[in-house]
Amino acid sequence: MAQPIPDLWPEIEQAQVVPPVAILREQAALLGKKTNHLLEGRVVTRTAGGQFHHSFYILAPALDEYTYKLFELTHDENLYPVHVGVTTLNSQQELVDRIREILNSDKAKKVVSSLLAQVKATS
């Protein structure tokens, strides 16, 4: 009688860092709350070439689902480092700081303000 094959895997533990996509999804949800859901954040994830690509969109449902891509980030299966444009971020805190900069940039503020004005003009 053949011997059973043993389980050769070690104990498997989940990483103790917050995945970049979770940070993005939380910020997407907060945009909806801040704008009474006149605008929504949306995160779209795809994979290619061993990389995860997360795109962050601002969505205006009342404007025929208009979407604006604010930024994109990429990382491999190890979560960090993360690449946002030409910037490499080596930790969760660096990513949070960079996303804060992007969301507080003049560009982001102008897009949000303009879309809100258009949505309110259609009401």
Residue 93 lies in a domain: yes
Place of tokens 């779209």: 44
Put residue 103 in one of left, alpha, beta given phi > 0 → left and psi -120 to 50 → alpha.
alpha
Counting the structural domains of the chain, the total is 1
User: Would residue 11 count as lying in a domain?
Assistant: no
Q: What is the pTM of this model?
A: 0.89
Asked whether residue 29 is domain-assigned, the answer is yes
Q: pLDDT band for position 99 (50/70/90)?
A: very high
Domain encompassing residue 36: 20-122
pLDDT tens digits along 35-65? 999 999 999 999 999 999 999 999 999 999 9
The Cα 87–Cα 65 span in angstroms is 30
